Amino acid sequence: MKNIVVLIDFSDLTFTVLKEVHKIANAFGSHVTLLHAISKQPVVVDIGVFSPTVMQTASPAQAEDESGKLVELCESLGKFGVSATARQIPPCTVEELLDEAQRLGADLIVVGCRGHGPLHQLLAGSLTGDILRHPPCPVVFVPHT
Amino acid sequence: MKSVLALVDFSDVTPRVIQHAEAFANAFGAEVVLCHVTPPEPVVVDYAPPVPLKQLEASGPQLEALRDALTLRGVYTRIHSDQGPVANCILEWSRVNQPEIIVMGSHGHGALYNLLVGSVTAGVVKGATSPVMVVPSILKSP
């Protein structure tokens, strides 16, 4: 486990995930890459009686803000003696995200796992489920505790 | 003592599950708990062939062989055998024992199997309070 790729989404789980990554990376002396796909923003479009929600590409300012936070996370891992780099990519699907992780030479992927209810999973799908279908390499799911 | 829970089902993924569990145990200074759960025989949806008695009896010695192999390599190893709904048994054990990590295989069951029986891996990942490592059963060629 020399190359750990961590999927970062800046949620409340991120801290828990990084704690686990720190533990594993320290134990195995691994290099860590923090991978983040810029998130799309929901925008409500007002057309007469309809107000459909449309996902819009993030503004450059937001991308900048997120990349700043990513670098901060990298530095804080560095302070704990873990060699880490950051990689930010445009909004993409789960498959593209996993492909990117493979390109980065991941032999372990770490991701947070939130226990959404069945309705949310039906409507929004679940990242965990998508990864579980075709894991490209061993994946560690860190639970919300 | 810290522990690493390895789920053993004697399939093609088991050797890799053991290998990762051993690596974690060495890295964390933990013991390995080899866990084998025999699922209950289907009662209502009776399309799966019942587990032959021979297979049930065979899992004991097979588990012991795996334990002895790990012990020889210097890893303190225990066996935990259970019978019941697989995901529930595993979650129950990990709630009580709080392992450092749970290592298991991802199983390439079909969509129909997952719909009717539910995926054990998804059940464990979603319900666990410890990190879960899922080892792919078929490695995608790069």
* pLDDT tens by residue, A4-59: 999 998 888 899 999 999 999 999 999 999 999 887 776 766 666 677 777 777 78
Strand ranges (E), chain A: 3-7, 31-37, 41-44, 53-56, 84-89, 108-113, 139-143
pLDDT at B48 over 70: no
Residue that has been written with the tokens 């801290």 in this structure = A15
Position B10 scores a pLDDT of: 85
Q: Is A83 strand, coil or helix?
A: coil
Residues in Cβ contact with A26 at an 8 Å cutoff, skipping those fewer than 6 apart? A80, A81, A82
Contact residues, A window 19-78, toward B, CB-based 8 Å cutoff: 20, 23-24, 27-28
Contact B131 A115 (CB under 8 A): no
Residue B50 has φ and ψ, to the nearest 5°, of: -60, 155
The Cα–Cα gap between A17 and A100 comes to 19
Which amino acid is it at A39? S
b or e along A17-28 (b: 16 or more beta carbons within 10 Å of the residue's beta carbon)? bbebbbbbbebb
Position A145 scores a pLDDT of: 72
Contact A138 B135 (CB under 8 A): yes
The Cα–Cα gap between B5 and B37 comes to 12
Q: What is the largest CA-CA distance in chain A?
A: 58
pLDDT at B91 over 60: yes
Position A31 scores a pLDDT of: 95
Contact by Cβ (8 Å): B9, B51 = no
pTM as predicted: 0.85
- Which residues of B fall below an 8 Å CB-CB distance to A? 20, 23-24, 27-28, 101, 106, 119, 121-122, 125-136, 139-140, 142
Which amino acid is it at B139? L
The Cα–Cα gap between A116 and B54 comes to 40
Q: Is B115 strand, coil or helix?
A: helix
> To the nearest whole angstrom, how far is the Cα of B54 from the nearest Cα of chain A?
32
Q: Which residue of A has its CA nearest to B141?
A: A136
Q: Which stretches within B45-139 are classed as H helix?
A: 53-72, 86-97, 111-116, 120-127
